[in-house]
Chain A
């Protein structure tokens, strides 16, 4: 067997070793990045948004006579607090109502007859949509005019 051929298994083994240590490095790196992503703002914000959704629903369903109630007003200040927090995180609420439907920003849930409204205009916002640093992180869910 030539000297060159004799060396082949050794070279192969060394090469495999390199591959393995590189893959191990990558794995560790992926774990680090994974950890980062896990705690990155976007994930957290997406989990906070449903809480805010529920506050909006509660506010919408508030009986008229309670609107001036100081307790209720106090509770609604909590909503303002969450909105401030989101604003500080560069989260922006999309303005949809009355706009033309755009699937890049909204998801249509229903098309309904709406008098005096042009077709494709958003007439109701069922769930608010949000942008983070200008990128859609949650599309708005809307009803549009037929």
Chain B
């Protein structure tokens, strides 16, 4: 059976995805982009362009370049929205015979669905080229507020493009599906979708009745988007330069182009950094010479510039909630969609309103297309229910020598999963070990959350490092963690079952992650100390064992010298001077190697004397025993 294509047919950009090995995968277009501009054009030569090429020639061919067709599709010409948009659209539109909207491109008038079909056709062709098979079926998304006529027009557009439209699904539902949220019945989900040109709020009710997702509230602003944010930044740059140099750059085409790119770049950068530079040398010149534009731009400044937009979006969310007779506390999950939601101030504002972390881990530009692909797989019977496997939110590990947390299952590992690692004792004749199960990212055991502890005893007394304790972590499909420890010599085993630890609340997880981030430097230092001490400790132990086992084969003078160095290391080992510990460790390690070489030489000579004829066999054994460590 051929794949069902998931299509996010957007106002400014569209994206497609298919299910591959049970996971949605975004399909790149022919030009290599993961999203395709929803733009269609007809050139003077009668060539039809769709996507990025259509957008590149838009300025030169405004009357025949159709964009934002989604704002018109399926609407009546008399619709106030159409009348409002008409004023801003550079291409011609008119009322069709059936009262709908027609768009002029070249000499021909097209129904709006035909234009959407041209976009869909390009998406279909590019996807076919990319996956190497023919696509006949599709699931297309539309905003939750689309009425029957708009949905029907979307479906017709798909059919004109040669697609069998299996379903027209709501964009917020698709987004929720990507996060697997539609599985939990009886909850309310709010989808906050801040795209390039539109802002949509939708509230979904996942009905207890199986397989129904009801839209219980919609709101938003069809003319508010990320592009407005860019414009604000551009205006700020122009104003700053005017204040500083008295020159208005808004009339200079080249300067404007550079400012536009710099503004967008700065906005994106400020989602991950707190400060950025806008550096445009030789932006213009006057009689006094060249002028350079150099500005420092902080996240706080950006947030201040776009404060009104963020607040407006939050007001619209409140309004939508009110319309649905709901309070923020009634919302169980929030999903962020659209590139603009990468802005930390937006994430924070949403979090503050609801008092909980929104879902934001899936690329917000791709989450809708991915959801459409999932829906496609469900309809196509590829899978009855999408198997949504969860990942461990935080790392799981145990406490090891020096109170260090040793991770067995790193965070973001998809479960069910298991991991086994061999550990040993830290002291001679140690007959029991304590397995202290930890969760968290901090390198020091005590800074993490304790999930449980247990003892494994009955280990036969032996030198440290000799016993082999096999520790296994197993997270089953329900997120239940089983930890077991087994002494390989005796087969003795102990285990612990920890329930409900994996599924911590989002707030708790975020808090722990933030703490780990906050203490990164300090933790690194602490861990460095512990590691240095552990190395020193091991080295001293190695030396003492060597003296016990093979002391008679080491030259007395050398032995004394090593003894002194070992004493010196013992003295500094517990101090706070890490450099000193490291230096003394290196000194001791170097000199111990000399002793090692002597022992090795002595053993070799003894072997030669004992088995002179079995030279070759002896060589093999030596190599096995004394593997040199670099």
Q: List residues of chain A with CB under 8 Å of any chain B CB.
A: 13, 16-17, 19-24, 26-27, 54, 57-58, 60-61, 63, 101, 103-104, 106-111, 120, 126-127, 135-136, 139, 141, 143-144
Contacts and interface: CB of A to CB of B under 8 A. Distances in A.
A58 B477 CA distance: 61
Nearest to B279: A54
B414 A20 contact: yes
B323 to A, nearest CB: 39
B417 to A, nearest CB: 6
B402 to A, nearest CB: 29
Interface stretch (B53-61, B172-180, B497-505): B53-61
A58 B416 contact: no
B389 A127 contact: no
Interface in B209-267: 253-254, 257
A20 B23 CA distance: 12
Given A17-B416, A24-B414, A101-B57, A141 B257 contact: yes
A108 B59 contact: yes
Contacts of B31: 136
Nearest to B32: A135
Nearest to B412: A27
B290 A61 contact: yes
B285 interface: yes
B21 interface: yes
A110 B57 contact: no
A60 B49 CA distance: 34
A110 B253 contact: yes
Interface string B382-401: 00000101000000000000
Given A13-B416, A144-B60, A126 B282 contact: no
10 contacts: A17-B417, A20-B477, A54-B280, A58-B282, A106-B56, A107-B55, A107-B57, A110-B253, A141-B257, A144-B60
A111 B59 contact: yes
What 6 pairs across the A-B complex have the smallest Cβ distances? A107-B56, A103-B53, A103-B56, A108-B60, A103-B57, A57-B282
B328 interface: no
Contact of A16 (B54, B253, B387): B387
Nearest to B254: A126
Interface in B449-479: 476-477
Contact of A23 (B253, B281, B414): B414
A20 B282 contact: no
B257 A24 contact: no
A20 to B, nearest CB: 5
Nearest to B256: A109
A8 B91 CA distance: 61
A127 B257 contact: yes
B293 to A, nearest CB: 11
Nearest to B418: A17
Nearest to A12: B477
Contacts, number: 82
B44 A120 contact: yes
B48 to A, nearest CB: 12
Interface of B: 21-23, 31-32, 43-44, 49, 53-60, 253-254, 257, 280-282, 285, 289-290, 387, 389, 412-417, 476-477
A16 B21 contact: no
Contacts of A57: 281-282
Nearest to B284: A61
Say whether chain B's binding surface is mostly helix, strand, loop, or mixed: mixed
A26 B253 contact: no
Given A21-B417, A144-B60, A16 B477 contact: yes
B281 A104 contact: no
Contacts of A13: 416, 476-477
Given A103-B54, A109-B253, 13 more contacts: A13-B476, A16-B416, A16-B477, A20-B416, A22-B21, A24-B414, A27-B414, A103-B43, A103-B49, A108-B58, A109-B257, A120-B44, A141-B257
Contact of A108 (B56, B282, B290): B56
A81 to B, nearest CB: 18
Given A13-B476, A20-B389, A20-B414, A126 B23 contact: no
A140 B281 CA distance: 20
Contacts of B285: 61
A23 B389 contact: yes
A31 to B, nearest CB: 10
Given A19-B387, A54-B282, A111 B254 contact: no
A136 to B, nearest CB: 8
Contacts of A101: 57, 60
B53 A23 contact: no
A112 to B, nearest CB: 9
Nearest to A143: B253
Nearest to A139: B56
A111 B61 CA distance: 9
Contacts of A24: 413-414, 417
Given A16-B387, A21-B417, A23-B389, A110 B59 contact: yes
A99 B185 CA distance: 61
Contacts of A20: 389, 414-417, 477
A54 B56 contact: no
Contacts of B59: 108-111
B90 to A, nearest CB: 13
A111 B32 CA distance: 28
Contacts of B43: 103
Nearest to A13: B477
A57 B280 CA distance: 10
Contacts of A136: 31
Contact of A104 (B53, B389, B414): B53
B347 to A, nearest CB: 23
A111 B59 CA distance: 7
Contacts of A19: 22, 387, 389
Contacts of A109: 59, 253, 257
A108 B57 contact: yes
A23 B23 contact: yes
B415 to A, nearest CB: 6
Given A13-B476, A20-B389, A141-B257, A26 B23 contact: yes
Contacts of B23: 23, 26
Contacts of A143: 253
A74 B21 CA distance: 57
A46 to B, nearest CB: 12
Contacts of A58: 281-282, 290
Contact of B282 (A61, A103, A104, A120): A61
B420 to A, nearest CB: 14
A54 B255 CA distance: 12
Contacts of A108: 56-60
A61 B282 CA distance: 7
Nearest to B417: A20
